[in-house]
Amino acid sequence: SRFDRVHVDFGTGDGAHAIALGRKDPGLAVIGVDTCLDHIEGSVRRRPGNVRFVTLDALGWPLGLLPVADAVTVNFPYGSLLRGLVEWNPALIERLDTLLGQGCRFAVRVNASALLATGLDPESGPSQIVRTLDRIGGLRVACRQMTQAELRVFPSSWSKRLGYGKETTAHLITAVR
């Protein structure tokens, strides 16, 4: 392979984060995954050659379809992906477990309004994601609240909305295998 590392970005949305990663590091293969890629039409035209977008359901892609990753991100998920992280969906956890290679860095950024919109508790949601990741095994997990400054500079339209909007509550949950 012409790339020495792989980064998988689940719930890639408009693809801004995946594109930023690819531009920053040409030796990194970036795979942006979402159930619907309608939001990234303009992004596809401006993506670097090391970035690919694929339509997959994070809760049900065939095991082995994606390569073992060096880094995985889930930025501001909602719906079934968020619910799967908070409520320990076995299918999602099995897929994450096979995807996270030795030394892999995993990061979830989650906001309170997405938890509310998904019918989940915004107060306990981040700690429930920590518990879910703890169940995978072999991960060192940490959680902290993101600052407004971090939200404003993170390459994601959701992050910008949070950083400059009224709702500023977002958490960063990280794990290393």
Segment 81-112, tens digit of pLDDT: 999 999 999 999 999 999 998 999 999 999 99
Q: Which residues, in sequence order, are bridge partners of residue 52?
A: 31
Q: Is 72 helix (H, G, I), strand (E, B) or coil?
A: strand
Q: Is the pTM of this model over 0.95?
A: no
Q: What digits encode the pLDDT tens for the residues 26-41? A: 999 999 999 988 877 6
CA separation for the pair 11, 136 (Å, rounded): 20
Is the predicted pLDDT of residue 1 greater than 70, yes or no? no
What local confidence, expressed as pLDDT, does residue 65 receive? Answer: 86
Range(s) of the domain holding residue 117: 5-176
CA separation for the pair 6, 28 (Å, rounded): 6
What local confidence, expressed as pLDDT, does residue 142 receive? Answer: 98
CA separation for the pair 14, 158 (Å, rounded): 9
The number of distinct structural domains making up the chain is 1
Supply the CATH number for residue 145's domain. 3.40.50.150
Q: Sorting pLDDT into bands at 50, 70 and 90, what band is 63? A: confident
Helix spans in 5-142 (H): 16-24, 41-45, 79-86, 90-99, 112-117, 125-136
